[in-house]
Amino acid sequence: MKGVFTTLVAGMMFLTGCGNKDLIHVSGHIDNPGNVKVVTFYEGDRKLDSVFLADGNRFTFERNATQPRLLSLGVGNNKYPIILTPGEKLTFVADMHQPEAYTVEGSKLSTALKDFAPYKRRKEFVQDSLQAAFAKATLNKSAEEIERLRFDYLTEFKSKLALYTRQAVDFARKQPNLAGFYAISTLDPEVAEAEIVAYAEEIKDKFQDSRYVSQFKDEAKKLKRLAVGQPAPEIASFTPNNRAVSLSDFRGKYVLVDFWASWCAPCRQENPNIVQQYHAFKNKNFTVLGVSLDNNPGSWMRAIQDDKLEWTQVADLQAWNSAVIADYRIKAIPTSYLLDPRGIIIAKNLRGKALELFLEKTLN
């Protein structure tokens, strides 16, 4: 009994010693939860904890913390960003019949996130709508027609997401806190690379205790290394006749570094466009360096001949174990980087009409 009593007293002293100022707290209720039995809390992609819905579908979450925490509160398939600050008691209420119409009280930062939510919902609606329209438009189309449609839809996608980027950056400027960070963290790197990199630099000494922010900073560092305006990493490999070639050998020219493979159908579909642009601009200080992810030399060389790829081709024949995978963070092919004569990245992943227009603007 003495041991149990001592433990209870120690626990009570610990809770008393921490006080409200060292606790983050959220409570509330979920109306019409259906089959939902728990409320789950995430920090970034990591599941932090979950609590059961009690009588009246109420819940309470509390834990020790000395710094504000940016979390996502998950109810079924719905996730709600919240910021829990030590000493504040946040109240959260949602109705699963109208999941977007939730309420938060007791936290100015969480209220700010709720104010930002309509922008994010609009962005997601635009993305889903464009993807559905593209899928419908490409039914029964040839590869060439699909590529033309892809250019049109990508142009519209980037244009519409540019508006969201401005909204997020403006929100972050007005909210120099975790709410602002959340807005920037939702940006698409394909559209807002420069904004993400600049913001990561701005907060490099802030939010040190946030795992979520630390992950963002790490990713931004990797993004910056291959961002427009940065020098392209060196590539050293061998041609089909075993001649050593380095990317730095092409200094003084505009170079399209094209990562592809003989087995990659989208790569082979894009090759005629690259051939066309190569012949159109090769006399204007432009060339191509093909970097293959093949591991079969016969298939690689046949594809070069069949597709009439006249520019320099290299491969270490290691496929996805190639060093270029890590150096260029390649997750899928085709992937391409356009470099200026100094070896600086000036554009990425230009395909179809987009490549032609960029080369015309840059080289003419």
Same domain? For 245 and 351 the reply is: yes
Range of the domain at 242: 236-363
Domain assignment of residue 75, yes or no: yes
Structure tokens at 180: 């602002």
Q: Report percent pLDDT > 90 for the chain.
A: 77
Number of structural domains found in the chain: 3
What local confidence, expressed as pLDDT, does residue 130 receive? Answer: 87
Q: Are residues 249 and 345 in the same domain?
A: yes
CA distances from 271 to 217, 261, 292, 306, 309 (A): 36, 11, 13, 10, 8
Write down the pLDDT at residue 22.
Answer: 83
Residue 147's pLDDT band (boundaries 50, 70, 90)? low
Q: What is the mean pLDDT of residues 44-51?
A: 90
End residue of a domain, out of 72, 106, 140: 106
Same domain as 55, residue 19? yes
| Residue 231 belongs to some domain of the structure | no
Identify the domain boundary among 52, 80, 106.
106
Let me know whether 187 and 88 are in one domain: no
Instruction: Look at 312 and 130; give whichever has higher pLDDT.
Output: 312
Residues 339, 354: Cα–Cα separation, whole Å: 15
- Kindly report the average pLDDT of the chain as a whole number: 90
**What is the rounded average pLDDT of the residues 132-142?**
87
What distance in Å separates the CA atoms of residue 94 and residue 91, rounded to the nearest whole number? 10
Pairwise CA distance, residues 7 & 13, whole Å = 10
- 242 shares a domain with 348: yes
Mean pLDDT of 122-141: 89
* Domain's final residue, options 106, 130, 152: 106
221 plus 332 within the same structural domain: no
Assigned domain for 97 exists: yes
Question: For 164-200, what is each residue's pLDDT tens digit?
Answer: 999 999 999 999 999 999 999 999 988 899 999 999 9
* CATH number of the domain enclosing 39: 2.60.40
pLDDT grade, residue 266 (50/70/90)? Answer: confident
Which CATH number characterizes residue 330's domain? Answer: 3.40.30.10
pLDDT in tens, 275-295: 999 999 999 999 999 999 999
Q: In this structure, what token pair is assigned to residue 325?
A: 């995978």
CB-based contacts of 79, cutoff 8 Å, min separation 6 = 42, 72, 73
Distance CA 188, CA 200 (A): 14
**pTM assigned to the model:** 0.78
The whole-number pLDDT of residue 28 equals 96
Same domain for 221 and 180 = yes
Res 5 pLDDT > 80: no
The answer to whether residue 257 is domain-embedded is yes
Q: Are residues 347 and 252 in the same domain?
A: yes
CA 335 to chain centroid: 16
Q: Between residues 45 and 115, which one has the greater pLDDT?
A: 115
Residue 196: its pLDDT value, please?
96
Phi, psi at 209, each rounded to 5°:
-90, 5
